[in-house]
Chain A
Amino acid sequence: MENYIEDIKLRFDVKDIVSRRDNLSFITCEKEKTIALITHMKNNLGFTHFVLLTAVDWIEDGLFQLTYILNNPNAKIDIAVRTMISRENSEMESAHKLWQQVATYQRELREMFGINFPDSPGVTDNFILEGWDDIPPYRRDFDTKKYAEETYFPRPGRETNDPAEYMKKKLS
């Protein structure tokens, strides 16, 4: 693992290097260099297997965090590459040319977080939310409860009790 990290540090300006396990490390790279970094990892360092691409909404900082987890099947190690992108007009260069299945992840992130990946095949197609007309639901400012209350009807006959009021009534 150390050799790979050293190699990456020589070529790229990465920070926040965290070793989570012997076979799993996290590194953070700036947005513009991220695709170049994972290309290097795939082509030159043996990280040929793409594990997943996911996002986290850091709403307080106005950022989305993208995480690409790559696997080196020979060395049996994973390196996760993180990059932070602006939450406003969020957009990231597509990685589908490295692994075509990335397009599916990017399509999901566009639907659930509203992050765009221009040129990614079918990126604007519905993923699972057919006919969605609200803000992307994985954004933290999406109010799940409010949406559920407005969208679905309650089951008839449901009743609940507020513990404090119920106890006051029962015990007074």
Chain B
Amino acid sequence: MAIRDILTPFTAWKKVFREPVTVKDPLNDRPGAERYRGFHKNDLTACIGCGSCEAICENEAIDLVPVEGIETKSGDSGLRPLVDYGRCCWCALCVDVCTTGSLNLTNEYTWVTEDPEDFRFIPGAENKPWDKLEAGWKKPEPNYEFYSLKREAMEELHPGDRDKSFIEIVKGYSKEQAEAEADRCVECGICIATCPANMGIPEYIKAVRNDDIEEGFKILYETNPLPEICGRICTHKCETVCSVGHRGEPLSIRWLKRYIADQVESSEYKRILGTDGIENNGKKVAVIGSGPAGLSAAHYLSLMGYKITIYEQYAHAGGMMRYGIPEYRLPYDQIDKDVNYILSLGVDIHYNTQIGKDISLADLKEKYDAVFAGTGLHLGRSTRIPGTEHENVYQAIDLLNKITDGKEIHVAEKIVVIGGGNVAMDITRSLTRLQNQKYGKVQMIATALESEKSLPADVEEVVEAREEMAIVNPGWGPKSIEIKDGKITGLHVVKCLSIFDEEGRFNPQFDENNTNFFEADMIVESIGQGMDISYISGDIKDSLKFDPRGRVTVNEYFQSDAPWLFIGGDIIQGPDVIHGIANGHKAAYGIDNFLNQNK
């Protein structure tokens, strides 16, 4: 070793007091640029766990995991994204696709920890130093969207073209419109759990996008044998939770369902659904009522090989779908299209046959292996205010029934409807049409206890009623009907302040000093319907349990304590069509289990 090699290290000492040329700890105060793509932050209260971030991530850096304190509920999976920073390439596609806008990237890019597992975490759930940073990548607004935030507009008859007739208002999507609308879906499936029938919504929307109508049609029938009907009048709760609806307009799920059903000719149903030549298993089931629950049970039981006989009290099938919902919302030929297919599976139907009058429930028990009852809510409820005994005070449900049957009904020049639900809007709008036909003008007031914001009717029903010149004046409680010289002159109302008490019980409070008077010579009550289950009597009734509201107690398969008797639809749950369909489907499985146990 040369002497130089020994001395050289010491020569460095002469530089020890010099100003350093390097920067000390260069990582301090070196923030990323304003739009730098650093660690994620997620607003966990705004996030709904739709999983679009996970789906779009090409690197599979994101998992969806449950987070303590966040509950799974309708519209929120309760899951939140967990990012693996060993895989993340900071492309920010997850931010750009985020349906709620909760997920962003901060401009923080440095973080030191010794445990590699620390680089897998749930943004927003672990108090990271960058959680409050404002800078970083956010989706550039506006006009930078992976999917349109606006719905494909649905064409409807103009109010002036529809207010005198019962022609269907909604025209339905064209192929181009349907495919464009379907293209907005992010396929998250958040909607599925909210649909009572758990329909495969993202799958059938995907089929529309791929122009594969037959595939879409098969998916519809897996969970819903009334797609023409539901495609028109479903309460579409699914749309209220659509993830795309958080920043834009939700998918038109109902109209896309209708689009699929509308494309398929009746003659093609059996070929597409593969239901030709179902083998009979030799067992017989009676279904009481041909509403959604009864038809659904009949359909799914038929597919399992059961011989089904439906008993229907009216002259046509459909129950409340035909006798409650007006034709301008649900044309009768569309009901027939759905119903006729179910009947074509070998289902017998006896019209004008009332259980308890024409044939007893005990007889059905003897003749059949099991019975499903879905008899619906056909009795109108009265407000019982003074004056309701007058002959010109009607129940909405009775009038709608007669309109369906083509019977003439009394239509006065000035009418007041009491009620704020969809049935109230149905009768309001039906009567405005008839007023228009008879008098050439509309003098119609619909009033309800509920305030404008909490009206139970669908928003579009209220909007369209107003377009058709009906006055919807909510927030009033009916007090009495004024009658002079034997004729109705109007309805006295008082301002309603609240409807439910603190415990959520129906207990309306009124401001007696704030009153109003609606002129009328005819009053229609539409405050809800009750059931008539008087056909359940005697020993059978004694063997059942009832809840405090008078409903028969059933298990999860809608089986009553009389094991052969299954009950579903509006008299158990709802009221709406899609619950009925779901009940009927579930009951079909229940009946199948029950009858196979007895083998």
Nearest CB in chain A: distance from B78 CB, A? 7
Contacts of A166 in B (CB 8 A): 64, 72, 77-79
Contacts of A159 in B (CB 8 A): 63, 65
A15 to B69, CA, bound (A): 60
A161 to B188, CA, bound (A): 12
Contacts of B54 in A (CB 8 A): 160
**Which of B152-160, B190-198, B587-595 faces chain A?**
B190-198
CB-based A-B contact count at 8 angstroms: 69
Taking a contact as CB atoms under 8 Å apart, the answer to whether A168 and B51 are in contact is no
Taking a contact as CB atoms under 8 Å apart, the answer to whether A163 and B84 are in contact is no
Question: Which residues of B from 66 to 81 have beta carbons under 8 Å from A?
Answer: 66, 72-74, 77-79
In the complex formed, the residue of B with least CB distance to A167 is: B193
A interface bracket (residues with beta carbon within 8 Å of B): 20 to 34
Contacts of B65 in A (CB 8 A): 159-161
- Minimum-distance CB pairs A-B, first 7: A164-B189, A167-B193, A160-B63, A163-B77, A170-B72, A163-B51, A164-B192
Question: Which residues of B from 25 to 73 have beta carbons under 8 Å from A?
Answer: 49-51, 54, 58-60, 62-66, 72-73
A165 to B198, CA, bound (A): 10
Chain B residues within 8 Å of A, Cβ to Cβ? 49-51, 54, 58-60, 62-66, 72-74, 77-79, 84, 86, 120, 188-190, 192-193, 198, 202
Q: For B64, give its contact among A144, A161, A170 (CB under 8 Å).
A: A161
In the complex formed, the residue of A with least CB distance to B192 is: A164
A158 to B120, CA, bound (A): 10
In the complex formed, the residue of B with least CB distance to A149 is: B60
A34 to B575, CA, bound (A): 71
Q: For A168, give its contact among B49, B58, B73, B192 (CB under 8 Å).
A: B192
Q: For A171, give its contact among B60, B188, B193 (CB under 8 Å).
A: B193
Taking a contact as CB atoms under 8 Å apart, the answer to whether B72 and A171 are in contact is yes
Contacts of B66 in A (CB 8 A): 161
User: Is A10 an interface residue when CB atoms closer than 8 A count as contact?
Assistant: no
A144 to B58, CA, bound (A): 7
Question: Which residues of A from 120 to 157 have beta carbons under 8 Å from B?
Answer: 144-145, 148-149, 154-155
Contacts of A162 in B (CB 8 A): 51, 64, 189
Taking a contact as CB atoms under 8 Å apart, the answer to whether B59 and A148 are in contact is yes
Nearest CB in chain B: distance from A147 CB, A? 10
Contacts of B49 in A (CB 8 A): 163
In the complex formed, the residue of A with least CB distance to B89 is: A144
Given A145-B60, A159-B63, A167-B192, 4 more pairs with CB closer than 8 A: A148-B59, A155-B84, A161-B63, A167-B193
A-B contact pairs, 19 of them (CB 8 A): A144-B58, A144-B59, A148-B58, A148-B59, A155-B120, A158-B63, A161-B65, A162-B51, A163-B64, A163-B79, A163-B190, A164-B192, A164-B193, A165-B189, A166-B78, A166-B79, A167-B78, A170-B78, A171-B74
Taking a contact as CB atoms under 8 Å apart, the answer to whether A168 and B193 are in contact is yes
Nearest CB in chain A: distance from B192 CB, A? 5
A158 to B58, CA, bound (A): 16
Nearest CB in chain A: distance from B134 CB, A? 27
Taking a contact as CB atoms under 8 Å apart, the answer to whether B190 and A167 are in contact is yes
A154 to B84, CA, bound (A): 11
A149 to B60, CA, bound (A): 9
Contacts of B190 in A (CB 8 A): 163-164, 167
A148 to B58, CA, bound (A): 9
A158 to B190, CA, bound (A): 23
Contacts of A167 in B (CB 8 A): 72, 77-78, 189-190, 192-193
